[in-house]
Structure 1
Amino acid sequence: MTHGKVSFGGIIKDICLAYTPEAQVGDYVVVHVGFSISIIDAEEAEQTLRYLRELDQLTELEADCPIDKNTV
């Protein structure tokens, strides 16, 4: 299986790219339980992060690596 590295707010994780083999360096991907399940554009990625911040769902990630809330 193809694997890649992704940055979750500065935390680097290895993920499986079996479902998104066309993903390239610089792409935004949706990751679930270690698998990249979708490629999304930058605008959608930014909007998703805004929603997660509004719902206070980034607490675990921010505890490991603070995210500047003024940027996406």
Structure 2
Amino acid sequence: MNPVTFSHWRTSSYSSGDPNNCVEIGATLDARAVRDTKLGAESPLLAFSARQWRSFTAATKAGRFRQRD
């Protein structure tokens, strides 16, 4: 993926307001990125194309990443 400037960062709804346990999601028209809130702009980014992001979020909502006992 080419270098991109992500904007419109939002905090995950699962962060529960704890600044030490948060991730943020940034967006462009064609891509999404995840970063560590406490590092802000200095955080490394995990970037996805829009298609990859849709696939990832669909799998998450379907429970494919839940831990099994």
Q: Which has the higher contact order (CA 8 A, sep 6+)?
A: 1
TM range (shorter): 0.3 to 0.5
Q: TM-score, normalised by structure 1?
A: 0.37
Larger Rg, first or second structure (1 or 2): 2
Q: TM-score, normalised by structure 2?
A: 0.39
